[in-house]
Amino acid sequence: MLPRQAIWRTVDCPFCGATVTRTDNVVDTARYREALRRFQGEPDSQQIGCGSRRYLPIRQLYQGATSRVLLARRCGRLGEHVVLKFADAGKLQGEHHILRQLQADGSTGSAYFSQRLPEPVALGPDGEGSTVLALRHPPGYWGSLAEVHRAYASGLDPRHVVWMWRRVLEVLTHVHGIGWRHGRVSLEHMLVHPDDHGVLLIGWSGASRGGDATRDLMQSAWSMRALLAGSSASGHEPDLPRSVPAPLAELLSLACTDTRWLRSQGAQGLYQQLTAAAAAAFGAPRFLPFQPTP
């Protein structure tokens, strides 16, 4: 019997290990042929292990001093896409444990927000002396908002920044409500879905239970301020362009500087303040197509 999460997301069968999803969509020809090529054979020399699973790298997403992140797909018939993280074994084990706790939460809204949080797939040795953490990669996510920031030298349209901030605050409202705080909210830790106007908050290795979550809110505000200012802005505290409507600019000024006010609002209160500021600046909400690069 499949776990109840199969109703709303992709799951792994606990008996046979198959990846299963409930959908009425028909597989298109291109994806079928790609799956057939994968089934007919993968080059062993390029495969990366993660415990008992094997993955084929697609491209590198990040290379740091102590970690490396790859986009990959699982070898075999289904070929699901994953993000592979290589780092210190203790750090990866900690992040895996945190994500499993977040995904296991059964409070109101968990079915929705579990899809807005990273889902661990596997953790184990890669067969070459390193430890790797595999996270499911939901389709449609283009890259990080840090990449968007670099692409828009003169800054993003404020209307796009509004929906991006709203998505982040929705997740933070849920996470803070169940007793967690992220601790490192940044553009690098926000993956954007251009078509669905979605944001996936990643980078949970530094998350913790309890404590003051105000830092998450202030970090989210500074991230949005950076998107508005653009990559050509200088200094650690970039000025907002004059094109940013006054209601949004005033809200950002408060959220970037006033810790006491932020603490009184919380994530839900800040979300409501943003909704009101957006309505005052732009009127009724409407969908505006987004391109992650100009």
Q: Do 109 and 181 fall within a single domain?
A: no
162 and 68 in a common domain: no
Closest CA to 102 of 91, 110, 94: 110
Q: Is residue 173 part of a domain?
A: yes
Are 164 and 270 contained in the same domain? yes
Looking at the structure, do residues 151 and 276 belong to the same domain, yes or no?
yes
Same domain, 126 and 209: no
The domain that holds 277 is classified in CATH as: 1.10.510.10
For 156, the domain range is 143-282
Domain of 69: which CATH number?
A: 3.30.200.20
Same domain, 61 and 173: no
User: Looking at the domain assignment, is residue 42 inside a domain?
Assistant: no
Tens of pLDDT, residues 261-291 = 999 999 999 999 999 999 999 999 999 999 9
Residues 131 and 156 in one domain: no
pLDDT of residue 218: 98
Structure confidence at residue 15 as a pLDDT band (50, 70, 90)? low
Q: By the 8 A CB rule, do 142 and 194 touch? A: yes
- Give per-residue pLDDT as tens, 234-263: 767 788 999 999 999 999 999 999 999 999
Q: What share of the chain is helix, strand, coil (3-state, %, to 5)?
A: 40, 20, 40
| 185 and 213 co-located in one domain | yes
In a domain, 235, yes or no: yes
Do 159 and 242 share a domain, yes or no? yes
Tell me whether residue 17 is in a domain. no
Question: 16 to each of 11, 52, 143, 223, how far by Cα in Å?
Answer: 12, 13, 32, 43
Number of domains in the chain: 2
